[in-house]
Amino acid sequence: MGISLNLYNKKGILRGDTLKNLIVKEFKLFKIMVLFSMILGLIFAYLGVTQTEAYIVSQIIYTYIIIFLVYLGLMFMSYKESRVKSDIIFNSLPVKRSDIVKSKYISFLLYLLLVVGVVYIGSNVFSIINGTLGKAIRIIDVLLVAGLCLLFISIYLPFEFYNIGKLQVFNTIFYFLIILLPNIIKKYGNKIVSSSIFKMIIKLDFNSVAIILLGFSIVFFIISLYVSIAIYERKEF
């Protein structure tokens, strides 16, 4: 089947750390994406540091690559699990469906922390080497983009557990939109920056917005987890 789980001990008894093994399984399927994300995250961290334009340009680069990699990770995992039919395999084993859902949520939370960590550490290291400390991504920017990504994950995963086939249609559409986004920003960037809405957003207290958004996203993430568990426990295979 292309997938294996170490869920049993030598006596054939189900291990007590099944959830941990499920998380390890997720990352085994995910290892190529993890490596790719680390490399691309470092490349864009360097690009952000070397920008000579306004400081906001660097922050747009950091925000874009983090959101892009998180979305790409979600799409990649959906494709891999659909291809190896992991749902059918797991549901043929004495594994709690709630543990299957929890493992995916924890895995993506760890993946988000990895992506954010790579961009944050990379940009700060490159800024020291490059002598442009102001170009590195700030902690408050990290909190803001992490909150946005948590919201996206919280919306995405329940739909995946509901119907992965329909989700793949959304993946295709959203993928092209996110790929075209840099060209849209490049073409209409000046108009966006000079717009009254953008100026109003710039005047906001980003520290408060980032903290409030992150707090809301964490609560929404927990609610999403229980919604996904309820969906998956009622699903028929």
Q: Are 76 and 157 in contact (CB under 8 A)?
A: no
Predicted confidence at residue 16, as pLDDT, reads: 44
Predicted confidence at residue 5, as pLDDT, reads: 47
Q: What is the pLDDT of residues 183-233, one digit of tens each?
A: 666 666 566 656 666 666 666 667 788 888 899 999 999 999 999 999 888
Predicted confidence at residue 39, as pLDDT, reads: 94
Predicted confidence at residue 79, as pLDDT, reads: 74
How far apart are alpha carbons 164 and 86 in whole angstroms?
12
Report pTM. 0.78
Residue 237 has pLDDT above 60, yes or no: no
Predicted confidence at residue 89, as pLDDT, reads: 59
Q: Are 8 and 14 in contact (CB under 8 A)?
A: yes
Q: What is the pLDDT of residues 43-60, one digit of tens each?
A: 999 988 888 766 677 888
Q: What is the pLDDT of residues 96-149, one digit of tens each?
A: 888 888 888 998 999 999 999 999 999 999 988 877 656 888 898 899 999 999
- Say which residue, 131 or 69, is predicted with more confidence: 69
